[in-house]
Structure 1
């Protein structure tokens, strides 16, 4: 049982790291002359020029959704440890699973909005970077983690 709990916690921490890196790193779209993320769009064609991410409501929605996914994933991990010590024997971690599934849905919605609307933010010549891919990898891992929490029962 201890190995299972360690595996679940490691999966959850991996999801948190993926969410943090994908939100912070400036590599949602990249090209040889520019990079962009959720916060700024930088180009090195005529010197280093960066445009702050206030050009549209959609980029602010993506920013908010990614931050919410991080917050809900942190809360889910905190709730898991709280429920681990307070939940009765045979109880399920429904609240922990619900928060992790919400985090999964937030990252999915943010990545979908970015996918659909990024042509307004970056040139079409840029390709998706590793931070964008990490956000999409975090989505199924958070979903799997949330489902595991919902299925998991507390034993002694």
Structure 2
């Protein structure tokens, strides 16, 4: 039982870290190796100073939806973890961790929605005169997609997890 709790906790913390990286890091769309776009900034690499120069992205309704959904995903996953720790101490023997599982599932669904919106509305989100076919999805976008099955697996594990002494 201890090994199961440790592995669920590690899975949850790894997923939460991946969500934070996907939300805050600079690579949702890559135009070239020296020009990238994320949820918050458009950045390009200055070879003279060897630094990234970033400007705030132009706001669109789709971009705001993706930003809000990714932040909600991080918030619900964090709440889920805190509730899990609280339930470990307060639940009576034999009770299931339903609320923790539902919070984690909701984090997965908000992550899924954000990824879908970015996938299908990237032209409006990127709001650029360049051809979108010349760019590619960055590692943060892929990381956000990878979080989806991990969030849903941990949600199912929480719903089926029964507290024992």
TM-score (norm 1): 0.93
What is the 5 A alignment of 1:2-13?
A: 2-13=2-13
Write out the 4+ residue segments of structure 1 that deviate beyond 6 Å after TM superposition.
none
* 1:114-152 CA-partner distances (Å, limit 9, x unpaired): 111112205411111111100000011000000100010
CA RMSD, 1 decimal: 1.8
Per-residue deviation, 1:91: 0.1
The alignment status of 1:56 with 2:66, answered yes or no, reads: no
Per-residue deviation, 1:53: 2.9
- Alignment partner of 1:66 out of 70, 75, 86: 70
Q: What SS does the corresponding residue of 1:91 show, helix, strand or coil?
A: coil
What is the 5 A alignment of 1:1-156?
A: 1-30=1-30, 31-43=32-44, 50-120=54-124, 121=126, 123-124=131-132, 125-156=134-165
| Structure 1 alignment gaps of length 5 or more | none
Per-residue deviation, 1:41: 1.9
**Which whole-Å CA distance do the structure 1 matches of 2:38 and 2:8 have between them?**
30
| Structure 2 alignment gaps of length 5 or more | none
Q: What SS does the corresponding residue of 1:55 show, helix, strand or coil?
A: coil
**Which whole-Å CA distance do the structure 1 matches of 2:36 and 2:42 have between them?**
6
TM-score (norm 2): 0.88
Count residues in correspondence.
Answer: 155
